Amino acid sequence: MAEAHAHGSDHPYHMVEPSPWPALGAVAAGASAIGAILFMHDVTVWVMLIGFALVLYTMFVWWRDVVREAHTNFHTAAVQVGLRYGMALFIASEVMFFVAWFWAYFNSSLFPAEAIGGTWPPEGVLTFDPWGLPFLNTLILLASGTTVTWAHHALREGNRNGLIAGLWLTVILGLCFTGIQAYEYAHAAFGFREGIYGSTFFMATGFHGFHVIVGTAFLIVNLIRAYRGHFTAGQHFGFEAAAWYWHFVDVVWIFLFCSIYWWGAGVPAVH
């Protein structure tokens, strides 16, 4: 309340100033969706690319304003509670996305159709050895969860060097995961359009891979902010949100590894 009175207000909440970014974000999202439809119908790719570029620009300027608000002491304790609820709901919505991919996978694997031979994986599909690159990537992500937790504890203890070191390690591990998954995709013995196994595999693991890339970018932004001294032991929601997101990515991968790579493994392909 003291901070609220300091800004001439009788409540602890931040009344956001009028902003053009929600409207621009709606236009960008609409352009991206329409552009994706045009691209999938072989009309043009430029509408989708322009829409995607506008989405990235909107994200940059909108979050830039949120960071500025944090440094202007607008993020009071009450506002931070709202931000945390918002991040929790966002992650819950992401969980629903993955529920859809898992649903598609288990619907096909538990009740394999006669068209694919009545078995899972379908006849002729050579899957990945779960104890090769997939297991290595599992260890990498679990290690990255440890390093981001280390960075969080260092931040809460006022250890700036520990924060920066933990973030660097987490970013490096995230990049290693993405590189290994790209190598894995390049050597897959099946394609995205070669049946239900390939479609469900690449949608589930690829969607997760996209989240790893987004999470890595999120951590890089926090690393830059850490160098600039933006975070304090008592106010660091930006970092906390990135850590939550990264732990969510870790947990989803464990489910992917256990269900798709391990439980759903058939005859591994030999490279």
Higher pLDDT, 63 or 49: 49
For the segment 164-193, the average pLDDT, to the nearest whole number, is: 94
What's the pLDDT band for 261 if we cut at 50, 70, 90? very high
20 pLDDT above the threshold of 90: yes
Q: Tell me the helices (H) and strands (E) count for the chain, helix number first.
A: 8, 2
Return the pLDDT at 5: 46
Return the pLDDT at 268: 54
- Using CA atoms, how far apart are residues 55 and 32, in angstroms rounded to an integer? 8
200, 101 Cβ separation under 8 angstroms: yes
Return the pLDDT at 193: 81
What are the tokens at 76? 């009071």
Q: What stretches of 130-256 show up as alpha helix (H) in DSSP?
A: 133-156, 160-186, 196-227, 237-256
Return the pLDDT at 200: 93
226, 164 Cβ separation under 8 angstroms: yes
Phi then psi for 122, rounded to 5 degrees? Answer: -55, 155
* Domains of the chain, CATH where assigned: 1-74 (1.10.287.70), 75-268 (1.20.120.80)
Average pLDDT, the chain: 89
pLDDT tens for 91-137 read: 999 999 999 999 999 999 888 887 777 888 888 888 899 999 999 99
- The answer to which of 77-81, 100-104, 181-185, 205-209 has the lowest mean pLDDT is 77-81
- Using CA atoms, how far apart are residues 167 and 165, in angstroms rounded to an integer? 5
Q: CB neighbours (10 Å) of residue 84? A: 14
What's the pLDDT band for 74 if we cut at 50, 70, 90? confident
**Biggest alpha carbon distance in the chain?**
71
What's the pLDDT band for 233 if we cut at 50, 70, 90? confident
What's the pLDDT band for 73 if we cut at 50, 70, 90? confident
Q: pTM of the prediction?
A: 0.86
Percent of the chain with pLDDT over 90: 68
Residue 268's DSSP bridge partners are 127
Return the pLDDT at 212: 97
195 pLDDT above the threshold of 90: no
What's the pLDDT band for 4 if we cut at 50, 70, 90? very low
89, 233 Cβ separation under 8 angstroms: no
247 pLDDT above the threshold of 90: yes
What are the tokens at 224? 């830059």
8 pLDDT above the threshold of 70: no
DSSP state at residue 115: G
Secondary structure element (H or E) that encloses residue 21, with its range: helix 21-40
Residue 267's DSSP bridge partners are 126
